[in-house]
Structure formats: structure tokens, C-alpha cells
Structure 1
Amino acid sequence: MTARWSRAGRLLFLLGLLATAACGNREPLPPVADPRPVVRPEPGPSQEALRKARAERNRAANAVAAEALVKASAASTAQRDFYDRAERSLRAQGRLRRDRVPLDAPIDPETLTRDFIAIALRDEYGQGGMQAGGGGAPAPLRRWQDPVRFQIEFGTTSDVATRRAYRVEVGQFAARLAEATGHSVSLTDSGGNFIVMVLSDDERRAIGPRLAQLVPGIPPQDIAVMQDLDADNFCTVFAYSRGAAPVYSNAVALIRAELPPLLQSSCIHEELAQGMGLANDSPDARPSIFNDDEEFALLTRHDELLLKILYDPRLRPGMTRAEAEPIVRRIAAELLAQSL
């Protein structure tokens, strides 16, 4: 699912203070008749009644705020139900597995080399966003040179708990990517070069102006792809380089806010890892998230090894398959020998 183009309250409580003055031993003044009727104040509400009233007001305010926060169109609500059913169905079929080293899918240097060539040196999409047939279009090796800084952008329908959970998960996954690649990868609050957008259906359709701000020079057709994303696409990622350079400078991933937890995590793993330079999917890659069969939900050891190969200093951005393959084969053999 990767595409790549080179074009680049506080409340203030006021307290009233009462002061009394003591008189000396003077004769008291004679009383002065007050023509106004004496009105004795009714007893005020008890402290308990006041506490209950405040609590009720707070509950009402919180309910209104929560309703506004999670407000979604009928289309977004229907999509949330659709993706819930999709996740349940996939899990019932034994898919969306979470095992990192599955015993039923051993790997060897030959299969690791084959999968790297298919995933890192081919593109799922060609120029103009058209899906490439025949396992993808041949492409040079691409990766990041600058440190990768993930920045998460939320729509207004994402509540505080959701935002906190996303930041924790993306931050942890960034550390895992950094360990696998040996490259600098982290989460930042601002100024990121890899934008992760978490949007509801309504928010996604109106994201154009903000997206153009976050990724200057992003092609209008890419914005259109995100705004019109097919319902069967849970998420997507676009990575960009400057001019024709094989080095990434910016990326943007889109994750639907309507996704249930496991599909959400699956999108974080796949799109952020693909945005590191593993741009293609392969039906032969196993055990891998870079396979459209959805057998595995989360990054596997096989996938970590692909990332480690991609950022090995013996490989250079721009290498063709003919140049890279013998080096990849040697690195794959070394990595698997180390794990024996």
C-alpha cells in the first residue's frame, strides 16, 4: 500500500471577607428607625446541595464535550462497524497473527534475498499512482539519509486517550525501527519529516489544505488519493525524494481513525516500515507484513532483517538489482548465521 513519487478554567473563586470593628466605652447612639421592611434571608442551600449541583453541572458539561468530540457522520460510523467486522472476520480465519518468529514459516538466506529484491527493489505503484502489475515495477534502492522524525496529526474526533495511546505505540515502534535499521528514528511533537495522520472519514475528505502545509510541494493527485481513499484501504503511505534522488526526504502516512485496535496496530507497523524504504508487497514474502494476504498483523523477525539489510552501509541508495543482489545475498547469510 505504498506509493512513491520523486518531485520532490481555570476557575477563579472569590472569597468575601467580613470584618468587625470593636467600639470603645462610648454611649451608644440612639436607634434610627429604618422605614424599609426587614427581610430575613431564606436559608441558603447546604454545602452538600451545592456540591451535588456542581457535580451535575460538570457531568453535563463533560457529556456535551464528549458528544462533540466523538461526533461523526453516518458514513464514519458505518465504516467503524465495517472495520470491526473485517477484523473479526480476519482473525476468525487465522489471520492477523502477532507472532514475531512463527515456527511454521522458517527462513533461509535464499528466501530472505528473494523477498528483499521483491520488496525493496520494486514499486507497488508507478508514476502517477497507477498500480504496477507483474509484482511491481523495477526500482532503485531507496532509503532515508536524514534522521526520521515521526509527527502525528489527529483530527478533532480523536480524544485524549486515543492520542496518548497512539503516541506511545508510535514512539515504541520508532525505537524498534531504529534498532532494526541502525538509523535515527524517533517521535517528535513538531517539525517532523514523516507525518502520520489519524483521521476519520469526514476529516480525511477535508485534509487537503493541512496536508499541503505539512508536506510542501505534495502533488495534488496524491492529496486526491488520500481524500478519496477506497473503503477497503485501511491505510496508506507516500514517501518522497527531492528531484530524482533515491534518498527520501519526506513521507506521509494516513491511518483511518475508525479502525479497531489490531488493524490500527497493523497499519502503524506496515506503513511506517514501508515508508522507511520497503516500498512493495509480495505474495511470496512469508512470514511478513509486506504481503496483502493479511496473515501477519505485526512486524516479524523476517521483516526486521529486511530493514537491517536495507540500511546496511554496504548498500547504497540508487543501486539496481544487478548491483545490489550479490551484496544482499551475502548480508542475508551473515544475519541468519548470527542467529543460529
Structure 2
Amino acid sequence: MRWFPLALLLLTGCRAEDVPLTLTPSERQLVAQFDRAAFSSEFMGGQRAGRLLRWEGPIIPDYEGGMPPRLWDKAEQLIFDFAALADRPVSFSGTPNFILILTNTGSVRRAAGRSAPCYTEVTHDDDGVIQRAEIHLAPVSPEQIDHCLAEEIFQAFGLLDDSDLIPGSLLHESSARPDAAWQDKMLLRALYDPLLRPGMTRAEAAPHLSEILRDLSQQ
């Protein structure tokens, strides 16, 4: 398996829409998926400025609103699972910085600018370190809210954009899955690899990505 073209795709500005869909993610697709998810955002627009965002300190979860115990239990498990992939600690002491907010459908759709049942807002410093994440959820069907929890909690770790590149991915626009696919987990681990740093541009991250994905594929 050849990995040397991976970095070239980011350096040459490859985007997800430039890579044809297949049922099995290829090296090219994984690179394009990372590029889309890590360097852009559904709702933050120009705030991303094409730089990596990720957590560096502990994640301290909490919730606002009438959060049903079932949802909070599921949210906690997802946070612990994704934090383990990112090698970041989870704590319940200190000021909460990872907030789930159960609100009404109208508020969510007005803020998201479309017919969306959920969205995530992330605050970060000038170095690209995430300081706070707020996940806003509307009271939709159990299936929808389970998917929302998984996708929004996953995206709040720094892979903030959707992508239709890889069918089966949690980030696919048509996805209804309640958990992360293997390729999603690989990209989250890649984002938090020590070779990458918050605030990196595409060009700065590209030379390391092939090595990171190669190592992850062999584990």
C-alpha cells in the first residue's frame, strides 16, 4: 500500500468533492475527509480560518435544560469514548467547558439556519485550542437525537464539518448512525496525534498526515 501521495492531496488543495465516492474508503478519501472535517465547519464559517482546532486540557462535561437520564448517560459514554481516542482526560470538577443544551426546535433551527435538529458551537483561542463547546439539541425522535448526540459530540472534538465523501461515516449528511464508524475514529486519532498541533494550516499538517495514517492503519 503506497502512502506517499497522501500529503500531496492536502498541499494541492484537494477537497472532498474532488474525490469520487466508493464503498470502501481509500487513502485519498481519508485525506479528503480529514481536510473537509478538520479545516472547515458547518456553522463557524470564516472563524475557522483553515486551521486545526482541538482540545489540549481536560474536558469537563455538564448539561443545561431538562436532560433525560437516558440521554445524559449516552452522552457521557460518547464523551468518554471520544476523549479516549483523543487521549484527553475527562473531569467532573472545575468549570464545565463541554455543555449539552436541550432546547426547543425553533431555537435550534433559527441558530443553525436550516431545518436542523442539532448544532455545535465551539470557542477557541488564537492558537487553535478549543476552550468551550456547546451542543444544542432539539427534542426530536429517539433515533434522531441518538444520531445528533453522536455526531455533535464527535464534531465538538475538532472535526467540525460534514462530508458526503465516505458512505457510512458519522459525518455523512444522510447518516443516521448512533456511533462513530472506524474511519471516523481513525481521523479523530489523527487529529490528536502528537505530530499535529492546534492552529496548524493545511500546508503545515500535510507533511505529517501520511505517516500518522500509516501508523494508525497498522495498529
User: Normalising by the residue count of structure 1, what TM-score does the alignment of the two structures yield?
Assistant: 0.53
1:153 CA drift (Å): 1.2
1:286 CA drift (Å): 3.3
1:227 CA drift (Å): 5.8
Match of 2:97 in 1: 193
The structure with more radius of gyration:
1
CA–CA separation in structure 1 for the residues paired with 2:184 and 2:138: 23
Aligned pairs for 1:127-206 within 5 A: 127=46, 139-155=50-66, 163-185=68-90, 188=92, 191-201=95-105, 205=107
Aligned pairs for 1:145-294 within 5 A: 145-155=56-66, 163-185=68-90, 188=92, 191-201=95-105, 205=107, 228-229=111-112, 232-242=115-125, 244-257=126-139, 259-294=140-175
Q: Deviations over 1:32-64 (max 9, x none)?
A: xxxxxxxxxxxxxxxxxxxxxxxxxxxxxxxxx
CA–CA separation in structure 2 for the residues paired with 1:174 and 1:329: 27
1:191 CA drift (Å): 2.9
Match of 2:11 in 1: none
CA–CA separation in structure 2 for the residues paired with 1:196 and 1:181: 19
Q: Report SS of the residue matched to 2:175.
A: coil
Aligned-residue CA RMSD (Å): 2.5
CA–CA separation in structure 1 for the residues paired with 2:117 and 2:49: 25
Distance 1:112 1:228, change over 3 A: closer
Counterpart of 1:141 in structure 2: which amino acid? L
1:295 CA drift (Å): 5.5
1:285 CA drift (Å): 3.1
Distance 1:296 1:167, change over 3 A: closer
Cα pair 1:170 1:268 within 8 Å, conserved: yes
1:245 CA drift (Å): 2.7
Cα pair 1:154 1:198 within 8 Å, conserved: yes
Q: Report SS of the residue matched to 2:60.
A: strand
User: Normalising by the residue count of structure 2, what TM-score does the alignment of the two structures yield?
Assistant: 0.79
Match of 2:183 in 1: 302
Match of 1:107 in 2: 25
CA–CA separation in structure 2 for the residues paired with 1:179 and 1:192: 18
Counterpart of 2:135 in structure 1: which amino acid? A
1:116 CA drift (Å): 0.7
CA–CA separation in structure 1 for the residues paired with 2:156 and 2:186: 16
Distance 1:169 1:337, change over 3 A: same
- Are 1:123 and 2:5 an aligned pair? no
Cα pair 1:151 1:190 within 8 Å, conserved: no
CA–CA separation in structure 1 for the residues paired with 2:41 and 2:110: 22
Q: Report SS of the residue matched to 2:24.
A: coil
Q: Deviations over 1:288-340 (max 9, x none)?
A: 121212264431111111110000011011111111112112111221122xx
> Between Structure 1 and Structure 2, how many residues are aligned?
197
CA–CA separation in structure 2 for the residues paired with 1:167 and 1:297: 14
1:122 CA drift (Å): 2.2
Cα pair 1:287 1:302 within 8 Å, conserved: no
Distance 1:271 1:238, change over 3 A: same
CA–CA separation in structure 1 for the residues paired with 2:100 and 2:73: 13
Counterpart of 2:127 in structure 1: which amino acid? A
More displaced stretch, 304-313 vs 113-122: 113-122
Structure 1 stretches of 4+ with a deviation exceeding 2 A read 104-111, 122-125, 188-191, 225-231, 293-298
1:108 CA drift (Å): 3.6
Distance 1:109 1:230, change over 3 A: closer
Q: Report SS of the residue matched to 1:123.
A: coil
Match of 1:336 in 2: 217
CA–CA separation in structure 2 for the residues paired with 1:196 and 1:108: 34
- Segments of 5+ residues of structure 2 without an aligned counterpart are 1-21
Q: Report SS of the residue matched to 2:99.
A: strand
Counterpart of 2:57 in structure 1: which amino acid? D
- Segments of 5+ residues of structure 1 without an aligned counterpart are 1-103, 129-136, 206-224
